Amino acid sequence: MKKSIAIDMDNVIVDIETNWINWYEKEFGVRIPKEDLLGVPEDDAFPNPAAARSLIYKTGFFRHAPMIEGAAEAVRKLQENYDIFIVSAAMEFPNSLIEKHDWLNEHLPFISWKNIVFCGDKRVIDTDYLIDDHLKNLDFCKGMPILFTASHNINVTKHTRVNSWEEVLAMLTGELAN
């Protein structure tokens, strides 16, 4: 039986940081350098945090976000040896449900609808691995938590960290060899 991996969407396979920067600039005319997000809670890095937060409730925000480099290829490769589940705590942003569903159908069409989990709390997820960018999800992981680097978690020293999909593949390929 294959081991299972739950993979978060935002800041793991979907580049929400770049999307947020672009939307903020488009809406408010201010370009925030990505470096300004380092070590800061996500929306606090913007001059007007409330305005930045309002963007994630707008139609289209999640649907048109770019993919993180190497994500699709890595997920497809992992699928050869693991049961892959895309898991997103999408209930916090109800507009995101259909947008994330459509995004996945476009960018990862090889992931079955049966392997997509939209939830409110990821403590219900019981996989061998969880790849996520938030401690609130990883701290309760029943399997091995894997912290995917994002600007907001750059100073976190808890959990095994990966900085790219290349590193994910190397780590999980190594796990298979053992």
What is the SS3 assignment for 110? coil
Calpha distance 168→160 (Å, rounded): 11
Do the beta carbons of residue 19 and residue 65 sit within 8 Å? yes
Calpha distance 138→100 (Å, rounded): 21
Q: Could you confirm whether 8 is annotated as catalytic?
A: yes
The kind and range of the H/E element at 96 are helix 96-107
Domain boundaries defined on the chain: 3-15+67-177, 16-55
Do the beta carbons of residue 76 and residue 38 sit within 8 Å? no
Predicted pLDDT of residue 49? 94
As a whole-number percent, the residues of the chain with pLDDT over 70 amount to: 98
CATH H superfamily, domain 3-15+67-177: HAD superfamily/HAD-like (3.40.50.1000)
What is the pLDDT confidence band of residue 29, given thresholds at 50, 70 and 90?
Answer: very high
Q: Could you confirm whether 102 is annotated as catalytic?
A: no
pLDDT tops 80 at residue 176: no
Which listed residue (10, 15, 43, 132) is catalytic? 10
